[in-house]
Structure 1
Amino acid sequence: MTSWFHFLTKDLPEGLGTVINVVLSIIVILLIAKVVIWIGQKLIRKFFVHRSKGPFRMEERKYQTLLSVTLNIWRVAVYFLAVASILDVLGLTVTTQSLLATAGIGGIAVGIGAQSVFKDLLAGIFLIFEDQIAIGDWVELDGAVGTVDHIGLRTTRIKGFRGELNIIPNGSITRVINYSRDNILAVVDLVVSNEANINAALSLMKEGSEKYAQHNELLVEKPEVIGVTDISPAGTTLRVICKVLPLKHWVVERELRREIKNLFAQHGVPLAESAMVIPMQKG
């Protein structure tokens, strides 16, 4: 067992002196770890700020992601060394060294029954370095939909539309849908009455969508009227689509739907009315 404070405890009883020495050594190790983490994080942030202003600057989302991941790696590495030092203070030097020499960090994780943690770490590395998602992206991860709030080596945090926070272990992520990387399709469906003049309704839908598209910077391509997509007793479904900038499809769908609805109302094109049928009981 390492005796860092033997000079302070040499006059005390052996058992008490040993305990005090161990406690003081652990406290010093933890304090040093905190200081090293703080200094390292300051230097890492300074490095990334310098890179963000250089000629090879990266996107803001990717910058935030890499910064977050690097800070996490630094923190985990320092804490691992701190734990190894504490084991040394406790007299477990041989055990720690043999584990590191024969199995490595991954072997330690498996040896202490933390296979799932190692799986999360490995999945997090691939998630980050394959650039599947970045902080600020709107994504869907295994049913959780929202904005990427944090990407760690073990878990990823997704903030939903209402502010709910989903914390997902990286090892459980089997499907990633990223809505922020490319242009997206806005789809507007309007259900008109089966008695309506379909040709007139389609003509008005085209007129309204073209009018909306004028001087609209959210649209990447001109709207296209698809036509009739469904016929049912409830009504006839008409559809118009257009390609828009990433994450702007909600805005375009709302505004385009309102524009076409107003035209239908002005020209007397009736929308379908939902009807609830209540079955009559005999007797």
Structure 2
Amino acid sequence: MPDEPTDQLPPALARMLALQPLDGDVFVADSPALGRERLFGGQVAAQSLRAACLTVDAGRPPHSLHAYFIRPGLPGEPLRLEVGRTRDGRTFSTRHVTAAQGGKPIFEMVASFHDPEPGHDWQPPPPAPVPGPQGLEPPRLPRHPPAFDIRLVRRPDPGGSLLPHPFWIRVREPLGDDPALHACLITYLSDMAVVSSAVAPGSPRRSLAMAVSLDHALWFHRPARVDRWLLYSVDPVTNFGARGLARGTLHTADGVLVASIAQEALLRPAGEAGLTVLRDRRPGPAG
């Protein structure tokens, strides 16, 4: 029998997170296309975290994950998810997950789980206020499940990402109270439009011959519900050579920081013409 995370999940998300167990800690997952030539990285990460969660006690939720995208995934070909039980301590558990297609690994993840403990509750001041999701424009995104409700804070720039940061996002239907399920869906959305946000400001995406994720890190700071509005904001940190780093945050509508992400992307210019565009857009000396 396949794992059924919850009867309340919308059909597209239920199919994505329903894993078929094999021998040991090995699972098989579907890989819907969603109109893409390659699998969406957030989907593979969410399914890998789901597999890891199925090997950890439900009272010990995930607190972080670190992953590498090794090969492009193929839509329509099942994913084999193999979980290694690296460690189970008194308050922490560690899992290593390999996602493979055709006998070759396409994705590697290390996820850590932590029993809730008492401690300080501090965060930096919330970001500058932005318009709330009510009344904002939803984007046209055929590549993501319609189960997600997304509202744009600002309009896309010509030639830029169809999903510019920051934006509001939530799952449309109410979900259950399983924190692992919410963490898996936060993992899914945490990969949305991050590569385009890693590009140096002012450098058009069309000047790149290749723009893909290399690795991804996610920290769950506080319990969060993905069926309530979350403000997702990602900004570039640095570009050098053919790599760019971006960092992001997820806040509730009340300004509570619930998660942070970091991702490095391969940003390969489109030949000498692309390099010329990038050079021309570099900031000049002060004054």
Q: If the length of structure 2 is used for normalisation, what is the TM-score?
A: 0.25
Q: If the length of structure 1 is used for normalisation, what is the TM-score?
A: 0.25
Specify the structure having the higher radius of gyration (Cα): 1
Pick the structure with more helix per residue: 1
Pick the structure with more strand per residue: 2
